[in-house]
Amino acid sequence: MRNKVIAGNWKMNYSIEESVKLISELKQGLTETDAKVIICPPFTSLETANALLKGSKIELGAQNMHNETSGAFTGDISASMLKSVGCKYVILGHSERRAIFGESNEFINKKVHKALSENLVPILCVGESLEEREKNITKDVVKNQLVVGLDSVSAEQAEGIIIAYEPVWAIGTGKTASPAQAQEVHEFIRSLISEKYGQETAEKVIIQYGGSVKPDNASELLSQKDIDGALVGGACLKADSFLGIIKAAKN
């Protein structure tokens, strides 16, 4: 059975002081859970977060990274830098990176390979826009993002990657894909992984759902057969709502 993975993407929110407050509340409120819990604060809070999380059940991830080891990439962060401050995970290919910063599937694939080479676990995001869903090309879009994103990734490596399906039209909008809509795409993603790597590998890969996940809809979403967790945005910025989602994650 796949364990549930609940990750919080803080995006561009919270100073170090605010980060300390939220992490302290999460540590205090987190009771026994079978789920793996990950938080992804902004770069400026990673070192502080790592120190605070030592000995806790919460693991640390980053929101992005460059595919190169070092060099003239002003404002960017390398995989080794993330590792040096305790990160074990990194979000790659988030829809905001694709749409706002123009990141291509090919560029994201380079990041996936770099993360794997540095023993960071990629959380590879895929998902369609509202326009693409209305054109009924959701599966075409997701397939292209996934196939290119996993290009030249071995089956053994794929087993350690987390896939996050995030319908772009449901991110930060208050709209949520229905459990049936989300399950349909998750099942499709698992079938693509099965086609590429075989059923055994496909059954091991964690596929999260992201897109306006909240405590009041988490249980129904997370009860779907192929939904193995959540990549949480706005609701992870308050301890009570993020803890409510974690509580809903039952294996």
At 63-117, the pLDDT tens digits run 999 999 999 999 999 999 999 999 999 999 999 999 999 999 999 999 999 999 9
Could you give the CA distance from residue 123 to residue 80 in angstroms, rounded to a whole number? Answer: 17
Instruction: Name the β-bridge partners of 37.
Output: 6, 58
* Residue 106 falls in the annotated catalytic set: no
In order of 42, 62, 149, 157, the CA distances from 115 in angstroms are 18, 11, 12, 11
SS3 state of residue 121: strand
**Six token digits for residue 216:** 């009041």
Question: Which one of 59, 66, 94, 128 is the catalytic residue?
Answer: 94
Residue ranges and CATH numbers for the domains of the chain are 5-248 (3.20.20.70)
Determine the pLDDT at residue 251.
66
Which among 103, 132, 166, 186 is annotated as catalytic?
166
Helix or strand or coil: residue 38?
strand
Q: 113 catalytic, yes or no? A: no
Q: What angle do CA 228, 229, 234 make, to 5 degrees?
A: 160
C-beta of residue 58 within 8 angstroms of C-beta of residue 27: yes
The per-residue pLDDT string of the chain (251 residues; one tens digit each, 9 = 90 and over) reads: 799 999 999 999 999 999 999 999 999 999 889 999 999 999 999 999 999 999 999 999 999 999 999 999 999 999 999 999 999 999 999 999 999 999 999 999 999 999 999 999 999 999 999 889 989 999 999 999 999 999 999 999 999 999 999 998 887 777 778 999 999 999 999 999 999 999 999 999 999 999 889 999 999 999 999 999 999 999 999 999 999 999 999 76
